[in-house]
Structure 1
Amino acid sequence: MLEAADGDRPYDGAVVFVEYEGRLINDDVFVRTTRPDYFALTSDILTGIYEGVQLMEVGSTYELVMPPELGYGDEPPMGTSIRPGSVLIFDITLNSFLQQPDEFLAENAELEDIQVTESGLQYRVIEQGSGPSPNENSAVRVNYTGTFTNGHVFDESPDGGAQFNLQGVIPGFSEGIQLMEEGAVYEFFVPADIGYGENPPQSIPEGAVLVFEVELLMAGV
């Protein structure tokens, strides 16, 4: 333990947000993050990382010394300085992890200003609009920021807004924008089953709740 903390420990399968440096016993650094990385704590990752991060509290930094059988064993990745049988050393800081989706949605739904639709979409009205509302076939222009439930930004619109047809976006996003009037600002909480489902893009963890703050600039363009 390099730095202790009193935060929560992640659960098996949690999506964790970490910063790390990986090196060999000769201090040759083979990987280093320049910004927080995130991944699910499952058996698909290195066994030593899977085991070690579950011992950590949010805010702590640990040094994990991994025997070959908990690292890459005799099959290290190509193009690195790692050799078969290498001991790996990782300095890891656990920044946060995502709350279990069902737990987050249940707690969020109890907030006074949250409304829930029949599909399970949750939303908050930040500012009411006064213009027309789009329909499922509309092309719209919006400002938006997409985050995970820990506030990590995974997507945002360019300056001047993004323009698209509602038929071409995830169901929860389309449904939410149709609730808005032009000029409104809403916050949406999109469960995975009306988001990307079981086949999300690489940047979206499977099962993650997506949070969007959206300003509807034009309801039909």
Structure 2
Amino acid sequence: MFTPKNTPRGRGTAINPHNRFAPTLSESCDDGWEQEVPPTRATEVRRETAKTVISRNKSPDVGFDRSVNPYRGCEHGCIYCFARPSHAYWDLSPGIDFETRLIAKTNLAECLEQELSRPGYVPQPIALGVNTDAYQPLEREQRLTRQALEILLRFKHPVHIITKGSLVLRDLDLLVPLAEQRLVSVSVSLTTLDDELKRIMEPRAASPAARLRVLRTLHEAGVPVSVMCAP
């Protein structure tokens, strides 16, 4: 099976293409001295104070009109991710920066509560984790997704979660009461059952077996769950 050459261990790409919005451009050239790619690259986290956290869209091609993304970038490092180009807006590369230089919206809970409390706000299902996976490894320590679910449960607000992460099971104590009120559904993206192919395409996402366990556990707990047989 083909493995991308010189890809750092546990990452989806070895390249860091130019940020198309940057005012300057630098290009490397081969001076005859071969450089080795580091065996891995540490994840950096930048903390952001967001002004708003509910993003809205009017696209007829998606099944929701609002979403919440607790993070910018995604440590899962899926090589095909459509969200990679958005990292350029933060003066970062859609390449390996997207999966190693992450941004956490640390005031997400405060902003979400304020936005849901505004006069005239009309609830519609919020898609949680679209441009990022809400249950990527960073969530284990940041707990921003859990904070969002706590608020959504308190407000009795509908939510749909899309994830490749097994960490979603940590929040069963919130998902079950949401499900009892018919306020939540979960979609688990399952692109392959081949561990080696998954390692190449989605290096830090949960294993196929772990995602199957997530499906079974959520179903047995009474949480509506479906499979996305696509990235």
Same fold (TM over 0.5): no
Computing the radius of gyration from Cα coordinates, the structure with the larger value is 1
Q: Determine which structure has the larger helix proportion and give its number.
A: 2
Task: Please give the range of the TM-score, normalised by the shorter of the 2 chains.
Answer: under 0.3
TM-score normalised over the length of structure 1: 0.27
